[in-house]
A and B are shown apart, each in its own frame.
Chain A
Amino acid sequence: MNATNQTLLARASAKLGPQVSIAIGLLVLAVLVAMPLLHLLPADNALHVSAYTLTLVGKILCYCIVALALDLVWGYAGLLSLGHGLFFALGGYAMGMYLMREAAGDGLPAFMSFLAWTELPWYWYGTDNFLWAMCLVVLAPGLLALVFGFFAFRSRIKGVYFSIMTQALTFAGMLLFFRNETGFGGNNGFTNFRTILGFDITSAHTRAVLFLATVLLLVASLYLGWTLARSKFGRVLTALRDAENRLMFCGYDPRGYKLFIWVLSAVLCGLAGALYVPQVGIINPSEMSPTNSIEAAVWVALGGRGTLIGPLLGAGLVNGMKSWFTVAFPEYWLFALGFLFIVVTLFLPKGVIGLLRKKGEQ
């Protein structure tokens, strides 16, 4: 782990030659940009991309952003969060509130009418405004992460303690959102969205735009991560991960660094959640279950911690496998996932990227 703060792109370019890796990256980007455009083609066209495929890939891209966000805190700062699903879901719920208000028009969202509520709870105030909803997407996960992180880092909770506390946090969040009285639709969550900003949410154009927005967010966060990792900030983070006490002896206060990357990561997750909800069309509290969050950790571990491309690769691989397994052998998916956890930690400490890099060296 001597120089993992360098990005994969930089390292791969040293091994494979810059042209090859840049070519692969551009090719993937070109495919991702082309997909929504091909979706707009008429359905009988040979090159038409079905709504199912587009939704699936869009969903995986959202997961890629989560993996990247998790990698920023785990791979660079050494804080394994088992609660990122909570931030993802909070962003999703903030977006869902807006979509529910859109679908309900002037009335109350359907689930509130079922509960015989007559007025909106205070925290729903202003959610019919798209801009305020977007602010909530950032604020809800950001503020929660800020408060939790402030207390956690102040008392220097780290390692497994930190992981357990985050897991308990997302578990508590799940229980809270499962209650009908919380005002977020109980265990059904939000669904039956109709329009977003006045556009039909199921139309091909809306889908294409949402997909492109996801690609854009992914590229932007990748660029952000790349800049951070190469900056002095990134190097301090890596030092913090490897020897926090020595860093403190050198006169740095690690709390601010941890808190910044932690909140940034949470906000990225929230944004990913906000793009996930309109594409998939549903958000419910099971997104906050500890299982989901810990699964995100295996995406990062499989791809390779401390690299930027690795987590994306891991999220793509695991979710691709999951979609295939749950259709072909639904009984065996959990076995496969379990073995993946074990194999990755035992034999692939540096993930798939590490494996590729080793091959490149030979």
Chain B
Amino acid sequence: MPTALYRFLLSLVLLLPVIAHAGDASDFAAASSSQQAALLERWSAEPDAARLPLLEALQQGRVAADSNKAAFIETDGVYQPADGTAAAAEAPRKLRLNNRLRGLIATAVASHQLLAEDPALRLAAAQQLQKSAKPEQLALLNARVAAEEDDGVRDALSLALANLQLVDNDPAVRLAAVRLLGETGDPLARTRLESLLDPGVESDATVRTAAETSLAQVKRKLLIGELLGQAFSGLSLGSILLLAALGLAITFGLLGVINMAHGEMLMLGAYSTYMVQVLFQRFAPEALALYPLVALPVAFFVTAAIGMALERTVIRHLYGRPLETLLATWGISLILIQLVRVLFGAQNVEVANPYWLSGGIQVLPNLVLPYNRIVIIGFALFVVVLTWLLLNKTRLGLNVRAVTQNRNMAACCGVPTGRVDMLAFGLGSGIAGLGGVALSQIGNVGPDLGQSYIIDSFLVVVLGGVGQLAGSVMAAFGLGIANKILEPQIGAVLGKILILALIILFIQKRPQGLFALKGRVID
């Protein structure tokens, strides 16, 4: 049977390369976890562009093996053999990885991506290697620094190289590495440099001195990042307080009404956002990313309508009795909270950021500015401008200001004070609703959402002075920044107490707040 024999031999010959060199994937699948670690380290040191798909699949947990230890890569639910063409003996099982292996895989992917065409990918890879490069990669990094054409990537690579050179045998190389590390503002560089200060670790005195200088440089850069971060979170908190307090300033300034249910208007605004999101998910999932934009008018009109209804039914009867209004609106807030609890449950509901509000800009190694907070700062300023235009450039605004300054005189001149009250109350509540949309993008949405903001926003109004937009803006940002500056020094709680004490002392000097309306009225 020469034909049969020939076929058999041929198939053996064909199989030979597969058996002799089973391929990286199957090597990996067959190895024990310590062997896998060694494999990954070797691959990291000698990257091969062909291996990248396998590593990425490993990173995403898509690699599986059957009982013969042949490796498969899953793509959209279908298992493709990783090496050769053999079909799976039975359903392959996903490889299990531990955290150490995952870290090594990330490093390996990065060192493979150093060969990528796209400079952005190479830069990301170099930054990853700054954190996790292994001594075995020294030669690779040296070669890449020499070959790299893009300046940014080369800088990032030389930093990654410097991290490895800190343990070089040649003091001159160590010295150069230490100096280079001083240029970064990376928190990791600080810990590495700090360890060098110990004579037991670093024997060369020149290198130690250089490390000290570099450390000071790094610390200065880190400090700048920290301060900017605090200033930014202060601005962010300030913009939230502003959105919460702006409506309150209008209702309090105009009607002399302390609206304890104002926080619940924020909460209702956030729940309106949730409802809009649910409706979008059900009826227009393709346009889901736009739901916050639709939620803005919805929340405004929902809360404004509720606010106007409350004004007509309850608050109107209590004008001139501010303390009673305070109690009645507190009662309203209790009812609203419980109503939401009954309708939506006591648990927080899930409001997800659309893609254009998630993520952030990395400004410095230790400073990331999240998009949602940036957008909210801008949005708060936009609302302030809008309110200012409304109050100063429209007929309604004219009426509102007239009633604020002298209710009786305004009524005598034909201003319909009742309707102005209602509209102004609706406006204040509507602005709170807009604030609720903003809050839903950065925090939890639950029935108690408003309670946590009401006291702070009252303090903003007290500090800013009644009926003054500028006062509210200054007070909100001032309180926000003061809060965030005090927080890391003495803790959030003591910071809050200190701020309260400062406000009480401040009111000694300026009882009417930052920006007081001048008048000669006395009761």
Residues of A that sit less than 8 Å from B by CB: 74, 80, 148, 151-152, 154-157, 159-161, 163-165, 167-169, 171-172, 175-176, 178-179, 243-245, 290, 294, 297-298, 301, 331-332, 334-335, 337-342, 344-346, 349
Within 8 A of A (CB), among B305-352: 314, 317-318, 321-328, 330-335, 337-339, 342
Given A172-B497, A338-B338, A159-B323 contact (CB < 8 Å)? yes
Q: Assess A80 versus B334: contact at CB under 8 Å? Given A168-B500, A345-B328.
A: no
The DSSP consensus for interface residues of chain B is: helix
Q: Which residues of B contact A298 (CB under 8 A)?
A: 327, 331
**Contacts A80-B323, A151-B504 given; does A334 touch B258 at CB 8 Å:** no
B322 CB contacts on chain A under 8 angstroms: 159-160
Listed from nearest, the 9 A-B pairs whose CB atoms lie closest are: A341-B331, A338-B335, A338-B334, A334-B338, A345-B328, A338-B331, A345-B324, A342-B331, A175-B493
Q: Are A339 and B331 CB-contacts (below 8 A) given A157-B511, A160-B322, A163-B258?
A: yes
User: How far is B496's CA from A342's CA once the two chains are assembled, in angstroms?
Assistant: 32
Chain A, interface SS category: helix
Mark B389-414 against chain A: 1 for CB-CB distance below 8 A, else 0: 00000000000000000000000000
A172 to B503, CA, bound (A): 13
A selection of 6 A-B contacts at a CB cut-off of 8 Å is A160-B323, A169-B500, A245-B522, A301-B324, A339-B331, A340-B331
Measured between C-beta atoms, what is the minimum distance from A185 to chain B in Å?
15
B458: interface (CB < 8 Å): yes
What's the minimum C-beta distance from B392 to chain A, rounded to whole angstroms? 26
Known contacts A335-B335, A338-B334; A155/B508 CB under 8 A: yes
Q: 1/0 per position for B471-502, CB-CB distance to A under 8 A?
A: 00000000000000000000101101100100
Tell yes or no: B243 within 8 A of A by CB: no
Known: A157-B511, A168-B500, A179-B493. 10 other contacts (CB 8 A): A155-B507, A160-B323, A161-B462, A172-B500, A290-B455, A298-B331, A335-B338, A338-B338, A342-B314, A349-B324
Judged by a CB distance under 8 angstroms, whether B164 is at the interface is no
Q: A178 to B314, Cβ gap below 8 A?
A: no
Output the least CB separation between B307 and chain A (Å).
16
B504 adjacent to A176 (CB under 8 Å): no
A243 to B459, CA, bound (A): 26
- Measured CB to CB, the nearest residue on chain B to A347 is B317
- A344 and B507 form a contact (CB under 8 A): no
B51 to chain A minimum Cβ distance, whole angstroms, is: 52
Number of A-B contacts (CB under 8 A): 113
* Nearest B residue (CB) for A165: B504
Instruction: Report the minimum CB–CB distance from A212 to chain B (whole Å).
Output: 34
Check B227 for interface membership: any CB of A closer than 8 A: no
Contacts of B459 in A (CB 8 A): 164, 168
- Residues of A close to B318: CB separation below 8 A: 345-346
State whether A154 and B462 are in contact (beta carbons under 8 Å apart), knowing that A171-B455, A339-B331 are contacts in the complex. Answer: no
Flag if A294 contacts B327 (CB, 8 Å).
yes
Given contacts A160-B326, A179-B493, A342-B314, A167 and B334 within 8 Å (CB-CB):
no
Q: Is B523 located at the chain interface by the 8 A CB criterion?
A: yes
Q: How far is the CA of A138 from the CA of B9 in the complex (A)?
A: 103
The residues of A that contact B31 with a CB separation of less than 8 Å are none
Interface status of B49 (Cβ within 8 A of chain A): no
* Complex contact A163–B326 (CB within 8 A): yes
B505 within 8 A of partner (CB): yes
Q: Are B496 and A175 in contact (CB under 8 A)?
A: yes
